[in-house]
Amino acid sequence: MITTKDKILSAVTKPTRYTGGELNAVMKNPAEVDVRFAFCFADTYEIAMSHLGLKILYHTLNDRPDTYCERVFAPWTDMEEEMKKHGMRLFALETGDEVTHFDMMGFTLQYELCYSNVVNMLMLADIPVLAKDRDESYPIICGGGPCAYNAEPVADIFDFFMMGEGEDVIHEVVDEYVKWKKSGKKSKRDYLEAIAEIEGVYVPSFYDVEYNEDNTIKSVTPNNPHAKPTVRKRIMKDFDATYAPETIIVPFGEVVHDRVMLEIMRGCLRGCRFCQAGYIYRPLRERKPDTLLGIADNLLSCSGYDEISLSSLSTSDFSGLPDLTDGLLEMTEKKKIGLSLPSLRIDNFSLELMEKVQKVRKTGITFAPEAGTQRLRDVINKNINEEDIIKSTNLLFRGGWTSVKLYFMIGLPTETMEDVRGIADLAQKVLDVYFGIPKEERAKNINITVSTSSFVPKPFTAFQWAKQDTRDMLIEKQNELKSAIKSKRIRYNWHDNKTSYLEGVFARGDRRLCDVIIKAVQKGCKFDGWGEHFNFDAWMSTFDDLGIDPDFYTARERSYDEVLPWDHIDIGVTKNFLMRENEKAKKAATTPHCRLRCAGCGAKSFGTGVCYE
Amino acid sequence: MSNYILKYSRDDRVKYISHLDFVRLFHRTIRRTGMNFMFSQGFNPHPIMTVAQPLSVGVTSESEYMKVGFDGEYGEEEIVETINGAFPPGYKIIAAKRVGGKEIDLTKLDRAVYTVELEYEGSADIDELLKNKELIVMKKSKSGVKESDIRPYIYWIEKLSEQDGILILKMCISVGNTYNLKPQSVIDAMEKYCPDFKAGFMNVHRNSMMCGNTEIL
């Protein structure tokens, strides 16, 4: 039989993005559950299906007999056109049903540039975008993920946010939903009041924001007795025992991370001052090698994947690494499975390990010095020095590697042109290391790639008060660097500064931005993270139309006594600590990592992890 | 090492999977079964398999063939059951046959029967169409799009039904190395040679693939 679905799917690229039915996708009868939950990711299938959090929450929700969690992703623009042509609304992959009257929708907010897609998805679902316009017949819409820590720019869209790790809190909010539904779903407010009592839950409509005349925030005050003055993030205290799914969905088409991802630890002990992940996931917690080997064996068997990758913020800091890699190598060699080890610091141990892992092929190696001079690396507390890089590249080149990528940021606080030129000097020194090795002892054809991204100050970092470089300034620095690179063996890539600018606006934005986002989507903005769709002019004209100056969010150095839009959120790391770190940064003074000496960041209050080793 | 010919089907649920994605999917399926596959040598060892006449995206089938090699001996029934237990829903092994040498040569598959369901306007007289000495249509080949006479490669076409603007045809046409003809080209010829016939959206299903008029499994 010829169906509308066939006509639509035959007309779009990569139709398996929309068919569902993959191995280990969960099939249930929706009539037999209390809660239909749509796990939403506001980007393409390939990106969404690479996200570890989705895999965890999807399966933990589906382990409940009373809940059916399905996946909902942003349709690519060709699919959106076909959907509109055929009057089809946003649908869930498992059942193909429209999400319009699901019980709950949960968006994971992984990056600021997905906000336009969130709004666009709601429009495609025919769901009112603003929370206040949705009555009890529409899904309750919640959000989580790193951007939830300052979700003020989308606060008017969401009913609530969950701060921190979701494995437990998601069940608590679903439990409350079941109670509310069984009591007849009288008023949405009842539900929100019930969950506002749960630690980690933030109901933005329960807080009033007042502004000063200069547009800075005067106060954020709870307007509901159930809302707490500050909302504290949730973490999994016993990470070793934290839920790991028994199975994973295996996509039909190729996705970005098409492999088993083994989450070896959460959090990072390094304390790089620009890094939001380094602060918000504190304290560092590890799984035991034995636990991990069990998870790995199970996921490889149930998926049939031929590759496994370790997932963490800094693999080398994992204390059980030798035991884990020995066990994994035994497993992967037998089954002819590839093992990838991202985020390794290069030393003799890791080099030996890499030799074992990739017996023949020497792929590229990436270093992230982040800044070109030692002074600036000290400012950002990036614990890597020139000697490390020289020593490790020497080892690498002698080991047969010939492709080195160096990642930097430009626009870091206190950066001067000298620091920018330092990037070129460092790349040159790496090249000199290669040429300093006798020809017989190195492989041919060296190539070095220097990449720069533009620094975007993020909430809950030591640089949350900092001024972001203007686009003109960034372009000047990129040009300076281009002309400072002399060798043809060094290639330079840089990141577009327009997307960084918009990212900077949203990262530290407030509730006044919500209208801008909705208006921009009405003008056609979506997939802002995709160069071919990003329409900077449309965004700028929208700011203009609404009389909002985007520079207000990026170009200002904030004072310590300014009320920040995210001050009512508590990540465990204290504002005082961040201030201290910012002051030390100004003096280029470093802070040792957690295992060397506790810096007193505040995360110890969670009572677990590296703080108690 | 032991070689097997597998006959398998795929239904609506998985018909949009491309050939390359199917190959990856099959590798993973075999890994899940825990059976010992023959692996290729090289940087990325992968199971050795050959698929006969890969299906186009969007087409369902109950008659696909591939040849696979195992390290060790397995019963034919055992192979069917084990792989079916590990396949994603929508794929199914119908039969497996152990082969020693070249008694079944997949490259010899030369014709296939398809059921084509299509939206249309006007009318098409199939008997008249097939009376043409030649049917020239534009056909894609490695060197680009060019004219080609497809008449010699159409063995028969049968009209199964025609109502409410939906025409259902069954056709036996050439596949394989000599001449690979797709049902779409036959529909193109109908549009060109049948006055006032206009085709719309179509669904294609492969019923069988044969050497001459014999099913190989």
Q: Are residues B151 and B66 in the same domain?
A: no
The verdict on a CB contact (< 8 Å) between A304 and B21 is no
Question: Looking at the partner chain, which of B17, B30, B118 has a beta carbon nearest the beta carbon of A16?
Answer: B17
The radius of gyration of chain B's CA atoms, rounded to the nearest angstrom, is: 19
Mutate to test the interface with A, among B13, B27, B32 (most CBs of A within 10 A): B32
CB contacts, 8 Å: B34 with chain A? 301
The verdict on a CB contact (< 8 Å) between A16 and B21 is yes
Q: Are residues B93 and B184 in the same domain?
A: no
Provide the token pair at A272.
């790089």
Q: Are residues B172 and B96 in the same domain?
A: no
The verdict on a CB contact (< 8 Å) between B45 and A336 is yes
Q: Which CATH class is domain A259-361+584-613?
A: alpha beta
Identical fold for domains A4-232 and A259-361+584-613, yes or no, is: no
DSSP structure class, residue B89: T
Q: In sequence order, what are the residues at sequence separation of 6 or more whose Cβ sits closer than 8 angstroms to the Cβ of residue A359? A: none
Q: Which residues of chain A have pLDDT under 50?
A: 360
Question: Looking at the partner chain, which of A15, A16, A304 has a beta carbon nearest the beta carbon of B32?
Answer: A304
Q: Is A302 within 8 Å of chain B by CB? A: yes
Question: Looking at the partner chain, which of A2, A19, A22 has a beta carbon nearest the beta carbon of B119?
Answer: A2
> Over chain B, what is the mean pLDDT?
93
Closest chain A C-alpha to B133 CA, distance in angstroms:
33
Mutate to test the interface with B, among A24, A248, A300, A306 (most CBs of B within 10 A): A306
pLDDT tens sequence across B6-65: 999 999 999 999 999 999 999 999 999 999 888 877 766 777 899 999 999 999 999 999
Provide the token pair at A490.
């060094």
CB contacts, 8 Å: B165 with chain A? none
Q: Are residues B137 and B182 in the same domain?
A: yes
Amino acid sitting at position A263: E
- Give the start-to-end residue ranges of the domains of chain A: 4-232, 259-361+584-613
Three-state secondary structure of A179-220: HHHHCCCCCHHHHHHHHHCCCCEECHHHEEEEECCCCCEEEE
Query: What pLDDT is recorded for position A263?
Result: 97
Closest chain A C-alpha to B98 CA, distance in angstroms:
24
The verdict on a CB contact (< 8 Å) between A361 and B43 is yes
Q: Is A360 within 8 Å of chain B by CB? A: yes
Q: Are residues B9 and B74 in the same domain?
A: yes
Q: Are residues B30 and B84 in the same domain?
A: yes
The verdict on a CB contact (< 8 Å) between B25 and A252 is yes
CB contacts, 8 Å: B37 with chain A? none
Q: How many CB pairs under 8 A join A and B?
A: 74
Q: Is B90 within 8 Å of chain A by CB? A: yes
The verdict on a CB contact (< 8 Å) between A19 and B13 is yes
- What is the distance between the alpha carbons of residues A79 and A8, in angstroms, rounded to a whole number? 8
> How many secondary structure helices (H) and strands (E) does chain B include?
4, 11
DSSP structure class, residue A435: H
pTM: 0.95
Domain that includes residue B187, residue range: 109-215
Closest chain B C-alpha to A126 CA, distance in angstroms:
27
Task: List the single residue in B with minimal CA-CA distance to A9.
Answer: B16
What A381-385 contacts at long range (C-beta under 8 Å, 24+ apart), as own/partner pairs, is A381/A270, A381/A271, A381/A272, A381/A273, A381/A462, A381/A581, A381/A584, A381/A585, A381/A590, A381/A591, A382/A272, A383/A270, A383/A272, A383/A590, A383/A593, A384/A345
Q: Are residues B103 and B114 in the same domain?
A: no
Q: Is B126 within 8 Å of chain A by CB? A: no
CB contacts, 8 Å: A4 with chain B? none
How many distinct structural domains can be found in chain B? 2
Q: Is A359 within 8 Å of chain B by CB? A: no
Q: Which CATH number fits domain A4-232: 3.40.50.280, 3.40.980.10, 3.30.230.70, 3.40.190.10?
A: 3.40.50.280
**What CATH number has the domain bearing residue B200?**
3.30.70
The verdict on a CB contact (< 8 Å) between B27 and A306 is yes
Query: What pLDDT is recorded for position A360?
Result: 47
Q: Is B89 within 8 Å of chain A by CB? A: yes
Q: Is A85 within 8 Å of chain B by CB? A: no
Q: Are residues B23 and B84 in the same domain?
A: yes
Q: Which of the listed residues B72, B107, B142 is the one where a domain comes to its end?
A: B107
> Chain B neighbours among A 561-580 (CB < 8 Å)?
none
Q: Is B84 within 8 Å of chain A by CB? A: no
**What CATH number has the domain bearing residue B58?**
3.30.70.580
> Chain B neighbours among A 226-265 (CB < 8 Å)?
250, 252-254
Q: Which of the listed residues B74, B107, B140 is the one where a domain comes to its end?
A: B107
Q: Which residue has the higher pLDDT, A271 or B143?
A: A271
SS3 call for A609: helix
